Structure 1
Amino acid sequence: MHSAGAIWRCQPVTKYRAVIVGAGRMAGTIDDEVLEYDACVLPYSHAAGYAAVPDVELVAFADQNLEKAQSLQQRYGVARAYEDYREMIERERPDIVSITTPATHHCEAVLFAAEHGARAIYCEKALCCSLADADRMTAAVESRNIKFNTGTLRRWAVGMETLRDMVDRGDLGQLQAVVTYSVGGMLHSASHFFDLMLYLAGDPELEWAQGTVTTAGFDPEPERWDADLSGIGQVRFDNGVMCHLLSTGMWCEFAAIGSEGAVQIMNNGVDFALRKRQTAVEGRGYVEYVPTPFPAFQRTSPTVRLIEDLVTALDTDGQTRQGIRRAVKTLEIAFGIIQSDRQSGARVALPLQDREYWMHSH
């Protein structure tokens, strides 16, 4: 069970030292953008999240634009700023490395951090730009027992966790389907949505994907695409749950549908509508879905809860609630839809055999 309250942790012996690679929005300024957006619970950026976790001390930023790193250094009262993240990691010897660069640089940064003593990594989404890179990252992280989470924050949102607990208890009966009503770029935006679908379904293994790339002008022949493609389709999980990927005007809305009830997730996780299945006419097989109160919960920062999850794993030498293999599954779905399109809409088995296809994401 995933309790919807605080994440309980052992008392650490000392603070963990953290550094942030990249000094853009997710590093430390996106909090300013979402002040009036109910779906984002502050603190939201990496730096603001670390500032709210007493067991972590943020000690440095790095960015190839040194002025940006210095700006965040001043904003958060951090000791040092660097132009080269490699120099920062070698000098600071951090326990936790946050990576907030564009996804095109994630693989090299994760590999460097892993090879230079990082004990935990918080990597922004998208994880990377190819499954081959994801495999290299997985090997580097797992061979060193590095604790790992990505910035697909809905997994740590208390409302989503409340729904996951309902599914686990059987409150919806047997879970049959999960739905995202929007996709967008399948690496940058949809990594959020795909990870949520996997989380609500119990983090199953993947069986197959079938779908279509919807980006205008897509050419299935090249082995590389220099834009983040969008698509629609369906994915079969090994527990029998079907995942439906739709492209509608309902941005950041989702559903979990079971044999005895369904939950609609609205307004990017602000509102939840639960309906329970009941017989409408005895003996005739007619059913209806009756509105039922969704369990109450207290919304808190998913960024803080993600960081606390890393701290818990460090304290206990345990596993995080996501880990790199679950993060890789979001890429398997994205590239599965692309490979299905490249094979004229055929159903493709997952995990994919072709690991080399590369797609850009910012």
Structure 2
Amino acid sequence: MYRVGVIGCRGIGNRHAQGAASLENAEVVAGCDLVPEQRDEFAAQFKATSPELKMYDDYREMLEKAQLDIVTVATGDNRHADLVVAAAEAGAKGIFCEKPLATSVEDADRMVAAAERHNTLLSVDHTRHWMPVWHRCHELVTEGEIGDVRAVLCEHYGTRSMLFRNGTHLLDAIMWYAGSNPEWLVAELEDGYKDYSEYRGDGGHDPATEPSANAYIHFANGVRGIYLGEKQAPNRLDFTISGTTGNIFIEREGDAYIERDGERELVEPRHWEVDGIAAGVHELVRALDGDGELSCTGRDGLTVVEMMIACLQSQQQNNAKIALPLAR
């Protein structure tokens, strides 16, 4: 039985716990949050099915006392690093960390290094890997249904088009469909952020604390990625994967279509018993059991952090081409 502890118990952290609690071989035995009301609500929800559950207001105490196998981290975007490093050092076998992995390359580096040093599996919650439509579209790409991928376009509009908070999901998805690591990018931040040289956000709450971005990304296999972010346009999230023999379109409403020879068909996703965040937690547990690999590893998350920081660097250097991986 895997002993699971959750750091950050509201909202997304609650969904982490639901994913773990739905498994027969895992039990949520610890939760940590700074806010007393959040601790009380979490305990009320999970105590009946997890009689061992204990609540903490200090993650260090939880890691010391709870003897955890798995730790999930669902704090603010810029608060993940110390928690992940401490969990790995405390002996966690697996960590499920919210996206973005970190908001600086330095933090992401030390998180990945700690996980690798302690043989800890580190999974990053870029949730589209476990969403049936997005997953099925990736299967079609890898099966060659649109030939060789040549370009991936993402249009991400609306007030929550924030580079770190939500752009991380889409940059990860672009890389996933491209099937390669980025070699360089050129980027421009939204107006008013020309001096935004490092993350100055509030953990993902106020859109004004971080910019949207537009980026052109060249991948090692020759695929081109284009990410368009705009806060002052109506909400929209559309994805286009273009190959040598066809295109796949993923729409904000959740439908997807494959287009070949002028004919467009609806993409029918496979049935998943569990999807989204819960499926990501389940995947981590299966990987710990030796059944399969992680869809989005710590190193994948690190690469996405590098892309986001490269966007800031490109803006600072008059929209210059920034080589990836970033120099250390």
* TM-score normalised according to structure 1 size: 0.81
**Structure 2 counterpart of 1:187, from 161, 164, 175:** 164
Residues paired across the two proteins, number = 310
**Residue type at the aligned position of 2:256:** F
The answer to whether the 8 A contact 1:160-1:200 is kept is: no
The answer to whether the 8 A contact 2:70-2:94 is kept is: yes
Q: Distance in 1 between matches of 2:322 and 2:277?
A: 34
**Structure 1 counterpart of 2:40, from 61, 70, 88:** 70
The answer to whether the 8 A contact 1:209-1:235 is kept is: yes
Tell me what 2:206 maps to: none
Output one character per residue of 1:212-244: Cα deviation in whole Å (capped at 9) or x when no partner.
Answer: 011524315x55634322210211111111110
Q: After superposition, where does 1:100-179 map in structure 2 within 5 Å? A: 100-179=74-153
For the pair 1:27 / 2:13, whether they are aligned, the reply is yes
The answer to whether the 8 A contact 1:110-1:137 is kept is: yes
Distance change (3 Å), C-alpha of 1:93 and 1:317: farther
Tell me what 1:218 maps to: 194
Q: Secondary structure at the match of 2:229?
A: coil
The answer to whether the 8 A contact 2:103-2:199 is kept is: no
**Structure 2 counterpart of 1:88, from 62, 66, 86:** 62
Output one character per residue of 1:106-144: Cα deviation in whole Å (capped at 9) or x when no partner.
Answer: 101011111111110011112111001111111101111
The percent of aligned pairs where both chains have the same amino acid is: 29
Q: Higher mean Cα deviation, 293-302 or 68-77?
A: 293-302
The answer to whether the 8 A contact 2:126-2:296 is kept is: no
Tell me what 2:304 maps to: 330
Q: Distance in 1 between matches of 2:107 and 2:40?
A: 31
Q: Secondary structure at the match of 2:257?
A: strand
**Structure 1 counterpart of 2:183, from 195, 207, 215:** 207
Q: Distance in 1 between matches of 2:25 and 2:84?
A: 23
**Residue type at the aligned position of 1:271:** D
For the pair 1:228 / 2:195, whether they are aligned, the reply is no
Tell me what 2:205 maps to: none
Unaligned runs of 5+ in 2: 202-208
* TM-score normalised according to structure 2 size: 0.89
Please say which structure displays the higher CA radius of gyration.
Answer: 1
Tell me what 1:266 maps to: 251
Tell me what 1:253 maps to: 238
Distance change (3 Å), C-alpha of 1:104 and 1:172: same
Q: Distance in 2 between matches of 1:152 and 1:85?
A: 24
Output one character per residue of 1:24-43: Cα deviation in whole Å (capped at 9) or x when no partner.
Answer: 21112xxxxxxxxxxxxxxx
**Residue type at the aligned position of 2:323:** A
**Residue type at the aligned position of 1:205:** N
- Backbone CA RMSD of aligned residues: 1.8
For the pair 1:345 / 2:325, whether they are aligned, the reply is no
**How many Å apart are 1:294 and its aligned residue?**
2.2
The answer to whether the 8 A contact 1:181-1:250 is kept is: no
**How many Å apart are 1:86 and its aligned residue?**
0.9
Q: Distance in 2 between matches of 1:152 and 1:162?
A: 16
Distance change (3 Å), C-alpha of 1:259 and 1:251: same
Output one character per residue of 1:228-265: Cα deviation in whole Å (capped at 9) or x when no partner.
Answer: 22210211111111110113545232111111111110
**How many Å apart are 1:150 and its aligned residue?**
1.4
The answer to whether the 8 A contact 2:39-2:55 is kept is: yes
Q: Secondary structure at the match of 1:339?
A: helix
Q: Distance in 2 between matches of 1:162 and 1:229?
A: 31
